[in-house]
């Protein structure tokens, strides 16, 4: 595709099988980007990512589905190398993939804690490191991390997930300082309560969840993955060329400031 705000750019989106990642990949493709769809190395996620890649290719987008266990540092390097081999040097990295679980804090094992941090926080750093030479050389590099409103609200029941998402904010701000002199921008998107397939699996009763969310949001409707895509496109494009180190909250008016 030759037109659009991301025309000619190569984007890697992790967690792209479904939910926010899939919506972002579709939005990037619609704006002209070539897209690598990184997915968890399990059959169900692989099938979804392959279906999405087929869909995008049918619309004229260069797209590839790539498997990676983001808890494995070597797999992160291989993912970036695979993106480059299939699509060319990277311009945009979206570190969206995350592990989440609801566990009382005293029942979290050390192994659970370490894997959540490896996928959610460490992999964001490793992705940035592996892609960095491309991002610098292309002259318009953008790294987009994904935090969570839970880092602000401090809700109970997911201490390891919440702590990892708070860490994303620190990583984003510090990396923006490190990368700025090389012309690479680093920003975070902080989603609120977004109705995704994962949430549907955890909370099948959509009405009950909506009642809880409506009580805290300013906008009295559920957020969807498509509500986030404009923010990601903005951060990946030249429209945000002077924006770095920022956390953009998209939560229907739940938390302010």
Alpha helices in 31-158 (DSSP H): 43-58, 73-87, 110-117, 123-138, 150-153
C-alpha 225/C-alpha 182 separation (Å) is: 32
Alpha-carbon dihedral angle through residues 54, 57, 58, 60, given to the nearest 10 degrees: 170
C-alpha 240/C-alpha 142 separation (Å) is: 10
Give the count of beta carbons closer than 10 Å to the beta carbon of residue 78.
16
**Residue 66 forms beta bridges with which residues?**
38
Helix (H) or strand (E) holding 236: helix 226-236
Q: Is 161 a catalytic residue?
A: yes
CA 47 to chain centre: 19
Q: Which of 117, 125, 161, 232 is catalytic?
A: 161
Q: Residue 249: how many CA atoms within 13 Å on its side-chain side?
A: 17
Task: Supply the residues annotated as catalytic.
Answer: 161
């Amino acid at each position: 595709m030759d037109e659009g705000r991301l025309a000619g750019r190569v984007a890697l989106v992790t967690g792209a099988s479904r939910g926010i990642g899939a919506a972002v990949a579709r939005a990037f493709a619609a704006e002209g980007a070539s897209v690598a769809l990184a997915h968890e190395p399990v059959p169900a996620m692989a099938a979804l990512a392959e279906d999405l890649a087929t869909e995008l290719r049918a619309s004229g987008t260069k797209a590839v589905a790539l498997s990676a266990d983001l808890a494995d540092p070597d797999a992160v390097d291989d993912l970036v190398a695979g993106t480059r081999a299939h699509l060319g040097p990277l311009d945009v990295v979206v570190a969206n993939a995350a592990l989440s679980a609801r566990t009382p804090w005293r029942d979290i094992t050390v192994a659970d804690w370490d894997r959540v941090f490896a996928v959610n926080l460490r992999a964001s750093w490793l992705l940035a490191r592996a892609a960095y030479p491309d991002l610098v050389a292309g002259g318009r590099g953008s790294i987009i991390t994904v935090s969570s409103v839970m880092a602000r609200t401090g809700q109970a029941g997911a201490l390891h997930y919440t702590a990892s998402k708070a860490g994303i904010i620190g990583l984003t701000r510090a990396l923006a300082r490190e990368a700025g002199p090389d012309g690479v921008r680093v920003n975070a998107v902080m989603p609120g309560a977004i109705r995704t397939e994962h949430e549907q699996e955890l909370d099948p009763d959509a009405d009950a969840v909506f009642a809880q969310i409506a009580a805290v949001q300013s906008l009295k409707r559920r957020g969807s993955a498509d509500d986030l895509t404009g923010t990601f496109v903005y951060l990946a494009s030249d429209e945000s060329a002077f924006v770095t180190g920022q956390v953009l909250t998209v939560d229907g008016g739940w938390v302010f400031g």
